[in-house]
Structure 1
Amino acid sequence: MCQLLGMNCNVPTDICFSFTGFRARGGLTDHHRDGWGIAFFEGRAARVFLDPQPSSHSPVAELVHQYPIRSLNVIAHIRKATQGEIGLENTHPFQRELWGQCWIFAHNGNLKGFAPVLSGRFRPIGGTDSELAFCHLLDTLAQRHPDGPPEPAMLFATLRELASAVGVHGEFNFLLSNGDRLFAHCSTRLTYIVRQAPFAAAHLSDRDVTVDFRELTTPADRVAVIATTPLTDNEHWESIPPGTLMSFHLGTPEALGEARTVAATAENITTRT
């Protein structure tokens, strides 16, 4: 299983603490050694770092760790290859433009028998099911909403429908952002935590590192962190129910309609593929 990490905030925040534990899962505390990547939204654009090397030993990861980039939305991924060779073209997260917006996507899972017909506007560069699914999502969004980005509730409803349809082909845990909101879809496993006042100290599960957020924040700060499994061992992380799409905005989950989708169970895959 690949590893996902996302951050959504109400003020620009660096992800150095979470990334310290997260990168250890790429070959140090876990066996995910097939590449890694991270994207930071800065204004209308995204700064993307990709490396097909294991994140625990990557000089690029060390650069990111030492470089406290502040962002409202961050998506990171550590790869355990299932489809597609190990290489830069197959390293998440993937980036495309839609409606004049930069979109970033990372996927954890394996989609079987997934062969959507694309219009040609969005095409995969590599050979992963993940990038193909990303192109399909954006292709469908563009066709459904040709006049530009829809209202948040409508965008959420379309993404929820698409996540349900793609999810019947297998595991479809993903993080998706346009720099405004961060969407998280749980197919099998995904967790999150919202850190806000009163802040406390947090200790990483994968490294012996503790940070006291009371020393680094203001009472108005709010940060949502999403990860495949909890990154800390002294905080309460919420598990996202399988088959659920969530939207995070300004550091908190928001209610944009019914979040539940169809869970991609083995029975669903057998009967609906």
Structure 2
Amino acid sequence: MCQLLGMNCATPTDITFSFTGFAARGGVTDHHADGWGIAFFEDKACRLFIDHQSAATSPIAELVKSYPIKSKNVIAHIRKATQGRIELENCHPFQRELWGRHWIFAHNGDLKDYQPFLSGVYQPVGTTDSELAFCDIMQGLRKRFPGSQPPLNELFHTLEEITRSITRHGVFNYMLSNGQALFAHCSTRLHYIVRQWPFQAAHLIDSDMTIDFAQYTTEADRVSVIATAPLTDNETWTSFAPGELILFEAGQPTLKTVVPIPDEVRLKNAQNSACL
């Protein structure tokens, strides 16, 4: 399946280090070579880069690795196609507007027998189950709060309800952000790390690259990095529990809950763990 990468920060931060290791999984150290994308929020709007080429060979990916765009919220994705052809419109992350803000979504998994009724405001452009789920989420949020955006804690609990209905259809690891915070849900496999003062050096698993964060940070900085699999081999990453939904704000987790997932998804998770 696909792999996810997210970053939520207290102050604007670049993701070039983490993305360098993550991009290598798009065809060099792993086989997720069916397209990629990354979104950087700047307040209400975001810069979105997608490419149907592999992250390991894409010239746009090389640009991202060498161009330190600073952002408080970033979502990236490398694709291993399960539903939908290898085309630009099927590359994550996906983008929609709600309450005068851009929303970004990326998904890792496979939803079966999933055909939500979409009223028309949100419709998929491509043919993936992922974009269909995103449209379903956006429609659900708009229906629940038609006037304006509620506080983040209300959003979190509404998203929990919507996630509960979608996750019955299969593996539903995802990341979602509106530029204010980042929501991350785990069906099978997701990890995170919180880096804060005093910062230390980190070494990538997928590339022989080390950075000493202490040279580039202050006491005001705090960064949460979320990834399908840990990106570094000299730091302690925290595993999400199966079904766990976490809200990240200002570089740290602030709300957590567990959404029950189907027994067949739990079985799939156990089988995947046994193969590692």
**TM-score, scaled relative to structure 2:** 0.95
- The change in CA–CA distance for 1:62 and 1:268 in structure 2 (over 3 A counts) is closer
Q: Is residue 36–residue 53 contact of structure 2 (8 Å, CA) maintained in 1?
A: yes
CA offset at residue 43 of structure 1?
Answer: 2.0
Q: Is residue 168–residue 268 contact of structure 1 (8 Å, CA) maintained in 2?
A: no
Answering whether residue 258 of structure 2 is matched by residue 260 of structure 1, we say yes
CA distance in 1, matches of 2:89, 2:78: 14
1:99-139 deviations in Å (ceiling 9; x for gaps):
11110000000000000001100000000000000000000
CA offset at residue 198 of structure 1?
Answer: 1.3
Answering whether residue 118 of structure 2 is matched by residue 118 of structure 1, we say yes
In the other structure, the counterpart of 1:222 is 222
In the other structure, the counterpart of 1:173 is 173
CA distance in 1, matches of 2:156, 2:67: 33
CA distance in 1, matches of 2:152, 2:239: 24
Q: Is residue 171–residue 265 contact of structure 2 (8 Å, CA) maintained in 1?
A: no
In the other structure, the counterpart of 1:130 is 130
How large is the RMSD of aligned CA atoms in angstroms? 1.2
1:4-51 deviations in Å (ceiling 9; x for gaps):
000000100000000010000000000011000000001211000000
Q: Is residue 55–residue 78 contact of structure 2 (8 Å, CA) maintained in 1?
A: yes
CA distance in 1, matches of 2:262, 2:116: 17
In the other structure, the counterpart of 1:105 is 105
In the other structure, the counterpart of 1:81 is 81
CA distance in 1, matches of 2:39, 2:265: 35
1:146-179 deviations in Å (ceiling 9; x for gaps):
1111121111001011111101100000000000
In the other structure, the counterpart of 2:270 is none
In the other structure, the counterpart of 2:37 is 37
CA offset at residue 267 of structure 1?
Answer: 7.2
Counterpart of 2:4 in structure 1: which amino acid? L
In the other structure, the counterpart of 2:192 is 192
Counterpart of 2:180 in structure 1: which amino acid? D
CA offset at residue 264 of structure 1?
Answer: 3.4
- Give secondary structure in 1 for the equivalent of 2:169: coil
- Give secondary structure in 1 for the equivalent of 2:134: helix
In the other structure, the counterpart of 1:72 is 72
Q: List gaps (5 residues or longer) in structure 1.
A: none
Q: Is residue 202–residue 234 contact of structure 2 (8 Å, CA) maintained in 1?
A: yes
Counterpart of 2:264 in structure 1: which amino acid? A
- Give secondary structure in 2 for the equivalent of 1:31: coil
Q: Is residue 187–residue 265 contact of structure 2 (8 Å, CA) maintained in 1?
A: no
Q: Is residue 164–residue 243 contact of structure 1 (8 Å, CA) maintained in 2?
A: no
In the other structure, the counterpart of 2:272 is none
Percentage of pairs with the same residue: 62
CA distance in 2, matches of 1:42, 1:268: 37
